[in-house]
Amino acid sequence: MRLNEYRILWVLVFFDLPTETKKERSIASKFRKEILRDGFAMFQFSIYLRHCSSRENADVHINRVKRLLPEKGHIGIMTITDKQFGMMELFYGKNEKALPDTPQQLELF
C-alpha cells in the first residue's frame, strides 16, 4: 500500500509526572530521555511527538512508551493522521509558526 496522508501517523505522548523529590525528578527525567531515544521530539515541555509511516510502526512505539510508564503521574498517548496533523495551526504569541517538516520516506519499487 502506498503511503498517504491518512495512513501516515503521528504519535503524541502527553505527560505530567511528579517532580517534588529528587527521586521523582530522576524518574521523570529518565522517562523523557527514553522517549527521546525512541525517536520522539519535544513539541512542548510535556508533549512529545513521533512520525510513523504506518499503524504497525506506530503500535511498536506506543508499546515501547507503555513499557516505560512510571508508577506515578499522568500519561496520555494519542495517534493522529498526517492529514489531521497538517490541519494544526501553531502560534508563538500572535505570530504563526510553520509546522514541523514531515520526514521523507524512501519508497523502493
Model confidence over 6-56: pLDDT tens digits?
789 999 999 999 999 999 999 999 999 999 999 999 999 999 999 999 999
- The residues spanned by each domain of the chain are 19-84
Mean pLDDT, rounded, for 1-6:
64
Average pLDDT, the chain: 89
- Binding site annotation covers 101? no
Number of neighbours of residue 40 by Cβ within 10 angstroms: 21
What are the C-alpha distances in Å from 104 to residues 53, 54, 95, 98? 10, 13, 27, 17
Q: With bands split at pLDDT 50, 70 and 90, how would you rate the model's confidence at 3?
A: low
Check residue 109 and give its pLDDT: 41
Check residue 68 and give its pLDDT: 97
Distance of CA 40 to the CA centre of its chain: 5
